[in-house]
Structure 1
Amino acid sequence: MTARPGTASPTGERTPSRALAPLRETGRLFALAAAVVRAVFRRPFQFREFVEQFWFIAGVTILPAALVSIPFGAVIALQVGSLTQQLGAQSFTGGASVLAVVQQASPLIVALLIAGAGGSAICADLGSRSIREELDAMEVMGISPVQRLVVPRVLATMLVAVLLNGLVSVVGTLGGYFFNVVMQDGTPGAYLASFSALAQLPDLYISEFKALVFGFIAGVVAAHRGLNPRGGPKGVGDAVNQSVVITFLLLFFVNMVLTAVYLETVPPKGG
């Protein structure tokens, strides 16, 4: 007896169609990313849609990003300060704390908030349009849903990520400075001196580049799941959850790769 495509065989084994489904989804995701890159350079550009999406994503993420960055900066500063005190290297607390906030914590905080707030909204919006067959109607009229709807949203997430990354870096650094000086009796001069001795402009560049890439990933994944919901309204809800989980997994993997490449290619200050 032959099993139908996408079903289990009598022996309990998956058919090739079911087993290759993750690969097909990955291929569609990369195809959408390539289509977005190509559509960015096409005209007309949906500037009004871009501004509306930028304002919406910034509005739902700016306050949480500023609030979350304070405890992140504080925890990093307290942990680093405790370790440096044990090693007798208190003078390096400021530099180590700031580098951890700028290079690692800041872009990840921004990306997670954008994926959780802005990305979920993008996925739900596109998913609802898809189940109402609005996207099919647009294609019938010769309008590309990618150029009309996806590109402005992806660019908006990228720009918001870059701008919020700067805000989170500043707030997180100030929070770390305050808690180190007040709670651990750190010296303000030593904190600032170690910061200027260890930090360099490429640290800020890689942080902003990470935010840009993370914003692109969050926007593309949310759009991909929103364009391909399954099962009506329930499928839209499932797509929102899937988009957030997939984005988180990709963000941490890409962050590891970018960090490894940066540390291998850019020499430390004074090295």
Structure 2
Amino acid sequence: MANPAALLARAPEKAAAGLREFGRMCAMGIDVVIAMFRRPVQVREFIQQFWFIASVSITPAILVSIPFGAVISLQLGSLTSQIGAQQFNGAASVLAVVQQASPIVTTLIIAGAGGSAICADLGARSIREEIDAMEVLGVSPIHRLIVPRVQAAIGVSVLLNGLVSVVGVLGGYFFNVIVQGGTPGAYLASFNALAQLPDLVVSSIKAFIFGFLAGVVAAYRGLNPRGGPKGVGDVVNQSVVITFLLLFFVNTILTALYLQLVPAKGT
């Protein structure tokens, strides 16, 4: 059993190591952004990665978005019934799905399915020393391998976010009207009264940023495996966990900024 005193003594060292890793990841993210504007554009690699991430993400995202929309609608429907505000159930459900649930569900699926595959692929290349060979030949791994994968993660995230929003809203509408006996006209009227275009814009911005984070984290961890094949499995798990933590942290910041900067409709 580990000694608690020893663990406490090593805590500053581990915190410093974590900050160094975070700094290196941020530096690689900046390098990725710069490399996106360099020629030649890796069109073939981008299309392959886009199709792969989309193929492994669409079905799980749809299946997850339906219960997400249903749970939000049922919970809000029960709450609004208790306080006598059933006329606002449609707006509350739609805004919760579009602003919060949709980009989060999208990125969780992409990080768990596409991001883990990206990390495993780059990790396998790293332990086979393919990355080192590319650098020796003067080929930039960031421009050749990472940029197309990050761009594909961003593109799939933005498009899948729209699909998840539609499916989630339809699921919420179905459960509110069919299961809870709500009125279709009241549901749509409250949505039109309170929803606004910036709600959809901020959802797309979140999906863009989350997709970028998922791609960069997966690529960074994939380029830094330790311990052979077992290390590849470890960095895959780490990439998913780190992406989830960053996702919820950044989502909190973006939501707070949006609520402060964009006035609510009707105010």
Please give the alpha-carbon distance, in whole angstroms, between the structure 1 residues aligned to 2:243 and 2:141: 21
**1:92 match:** 88
Equivalent pairs counted in the alignment come to: 263
Deviation (angstroms), 1:23: 1.4
Question: Can you list the C-alpha shifts for 1:63-120, whole angstroms capped at 9, x where unaligned?
Answer: 1111111110010000000000000010000000000000000000000000000000
Please give the alpha-carbon distance, in whole angstroms, between the structure 1 residues aligned to 2:22 and 2:137: 29
> Is the counterpart of residue 222 in structure 1 residue 218 in structure 2?
yes
Question: Can you list the C-alpha shifts for 1:21-49, whole angstroms capped at 9, x where unaligned?
Answer: 11110111001100000000001111100
TM, length-normalised to structure 2: 0.96
**2:140 match:** 144
Please give the alpha-carbon distance, in whole angstroms, between the structure 1 residues aligned to 2:237 and 2:59: 23
Gaps of 5+ in 1: 1-9
Please give the alpha-carbon distance, in whole angstroms, between the structure 2 residues aligned to 1:248 and 1:118: 14
**2:240 match:** 244
Please give the alpha-carbon distance, in whole angstroms, between the structure 1 residues aligned to 2:245 and 2:63: 24
Of the candidates 71, 78, 84, which is equivalent to residue 82 of structure 1? 78
Of the candidates 197, 203, 207, which is equivalent to residue 207 of structure 1? 203
RMSD of equivalent CA atoms: 1.5
Runs of 4+ in 1 over 3 A off after TM superposition: 10-19
Please give the alpha-carbon distance, in whole angstroms, between the structure 2 residues aligned to 1:114 and 1:232: 25
> Is the counterpart of residue 115 in structure 1 residue 130 in structure 2?
no
Deviation (angstroms), 1:20: 2.0
Deviation (angstroms), 1:132: 0.2
Please give the alpha-carbon distance, in whole angstroms, between the structure 2 residues aligned to 1:112 and 1:123: 15
Q: How does 1:100-179 map to 2 (within 5 A)?
A: 100-179=96-175
Of the candidates 33, 46, 52, which is equivalent to residue 56 of structure 1? 52
Deviation (angstroms), 1:14: 3.2
Please give the alpha-carbon distance, in whole angstroms, between the structure 1 residues aligned to 2:8 and 2:79: 53
**2:3 match:** none
Please give the alpha-carbon distance, in whole angstroms, between the structure 2 residues aligned to 1:104 and 1:183: 23
C-alpha spacing 1:93/1:150, structure 2 compared with 1 (3 Å): same
**2:192 match:** 196
Gaps of 5+ in 2: 1-5
Q: Secondary structure at the match of 1:74?
A: helix
Please give the alpha-carbon distance, in whole angstroms, between the structure 2 residues aligned to 1:253 and 1:77: 25
Q: How does 1:17-56 map to 2 (within 5 A)?
A: 19-56=15-52
Q: Secondary structure at the match of 2:39?
A: coil
TM, length-normalised to structure 1: 0.94
Instruction: Give the AA of the match of 1:224.
Output: Y
Please give the alpha-carbon distance, in whole angstroms, between the structure 2 residues aligned to 1:256 and 1:93: 23
C-alpha spacing 1:15/1:192, structure 2 compared with 1 (3 Å): closer
**1:6 match:** none
Question: Can you list the C-alpha shifts for 1:162-218, whole angstroms capped at 9, x where unaligned?
Answer: 000000000000000000001111000000000000100000000000000000000
Please give the alpha-carbon distance, in whole angstroms, between the structure 2 residues aligned to 1:12 and 1:252: 27
Please give the alpha-carbon distance, in whole angstroms, between the structure 2 residues aligned to 1:31 and 1:75: 39
C-alpha spacing 1:160/1:19, structure 2 compared with 1 (3 Å): closer
